[in-house]
């Protein structure tokens, strides 16, 4: 079973490396959205520092949501997904592998890019650290929850817009605790509580989201 999981991850990574532009598009979308905020609200450093965690988090959520279409889209188009449904390995495991690979190519670059953007917003070192940790815990949860939405909207007309309507409300807890962690640290409250809750959400999503996404795939492909 672990072999199947590893095989799935490696396959999707290879496919992603062959289409580097897809990965870069997500990353640059993230950078551009974050850069728009100072232009929109003005360059006062004090204000930018207070809105930075929220801005980075919202942009990260939007960027990974945009990439959701690619999670199952290609495999659905060329029929690979139907073969996965027929595979002897549990579908939830294969879905987990796909989500893991998806996070490695879309979520992780965002996490690595975040401190640079945080610097532009005048965050200090401690806040940057918390921001990175919160994104590191939160983006897997976002990919996992998003997988359910992506599976449900597979092959549906207007699926790209629809998926945002489905998953954005479900992202709210992640956003609250992710951005809240940085703000709590800045307010001197300590980010521990928020990060623990964020971790709890990630574990919960890890347990249930692959099952729900697998069920959704079966509905979409029947």
Partner 1 sequence: MSTAGINWFKYSSPATFYPLAGRMIPWFAALAVVSAVAGLYLGFFVAPPDYQQGDAYRIMFIHVPAAWMSMFIYVVMAGYAALGLIFNTRLSAMMASALAPTGAMFTFLALWTGALWGKPMWGTWWVWDARLTSELILLFLYIGYMSLEAAIDDPRRASRASGLLAIVGVVNVPIIYYSVQWWNTLHQGASISFDKAPTMAATMLAALLVMTFACWMYAIAIVLMRVRNIILERERHSEWVMGVLEEEK
**Where on the chain is the footprint of partner 1 (CB under 8 A)?**
148, 152-153, 156-159, 162, 165-166, 168-170, 172-173, 176-177, 180, 183-184, 189, 197, 201, 208, 212, 215-216, 219-220, 222
Find tokens 């992780």 and name the residue.
108
Asked if 216 and 156 count as a contact pair (C-beta separation under 8 A), the reply is no
Question: What would the DSSP string read from start to end of 19-86?
Answer: THHHHHHHHHHHHHHHHHHHHHH---HHHHHHHHHHHHHHHHHHHHHHTTHHHHHHHHHTTHHHHHHH
CB of 120: closest distance to partner 1 in angstroms? 25
CA 155 to chain centre: 21
In the structure encoding, which two tokens stand for residue 161, read together?
């817009």
User: Of the two residues 30 and 171, which places its CB atom closer to partner 1 in the complex?
Assistant: 171
Asked if 110 and 100 count as a contact pair (C-beta separation under 8 A), the reply is no
CB of 212: closest distance to partner 1 in angstroms? 6
User: Of the two residues 16 and 200, which places its CB atom closer to partner 1 in the complex?
Assistant: 200
CB of 18: closest distance to partner 1 in angstroms? 31
User: Of the two residues 1 and 222, which places its CB atom closer to partner 1 in the complex?
Assistant: 222
Find tokens 């027929």 and name the residue.
86
User: Of the two residues 101 and 209, which places its CB atom closer to partner 1 in the complex?
Assistant: 209
What are the counts of helices (DSSP H) followed by strands (DSSP E) for the chain?
Answer: 10, 0
CB of 186: closest distance to partner 1 in angstroms? 12
CB of 37: closest distance to partner 1 in angstroms? 19
Closest Cα partner for 98 from 26, 163, 13, 218?
13
Question: What would the DSSP string read from start to end of 83-101?
Answer: HHHHSSS-HHHHHHHHHHH
User: Of the two residues 109 and 199, which places its CB atom closer to partner 1 in the complex?
Assistant: 199
CB of 205: closest distance to partner 1 in angstroms? 10
User: Of the two residues 42 and 158, which places its CB atom closer to partner 1 in the complex?
Assistant: 158
């Amino acid at each position: 079973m672990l072999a199947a999981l590893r095989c799935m991850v490696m396959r999707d990574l290879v496919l992603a490396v062959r289409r580097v532009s897809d990965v870069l598009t997500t990353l640059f979308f993230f950078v551009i959205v974050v850069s728009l905020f100072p232009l929109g609200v003005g360059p006062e450093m004090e204000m930018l520092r207070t809105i930075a965690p929220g801005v980075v988090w919202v942009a990260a959520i939007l960027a990974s949501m945009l990439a959701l279409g690619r999670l199952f889209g290609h495999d659905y188009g060329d029929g690979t997904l139907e073969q996965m449904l027929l595979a002897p390995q549990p579908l939830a495991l294969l879905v987990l592998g796909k989500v893991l690979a998806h996070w490695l190519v879309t979520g992780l670059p965002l996490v690595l890019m975040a401190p640079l953007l945080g610097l532009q917003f005048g965050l200090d070192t401690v806040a940057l650290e918390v921001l990175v940790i919160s994104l590191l815990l939160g983006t897997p949860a976002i990919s996992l929850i998003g997988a359910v939405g992506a599976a449900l909207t597979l092959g549906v007309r207007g699926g790209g817009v629809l998926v945002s309507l489905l998953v954005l409300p479900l992202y709210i807890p992640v956003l609250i605790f992710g951005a809240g962690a940085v703000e709590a640290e800045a307010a001197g409250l300590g980010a521990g509580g928020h990060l623990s809750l964020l971790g709890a959400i990630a574990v919960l999503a890890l347990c249930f989201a692959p099952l729900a996404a697998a069920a959704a795939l079966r509905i979409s492909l029947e």
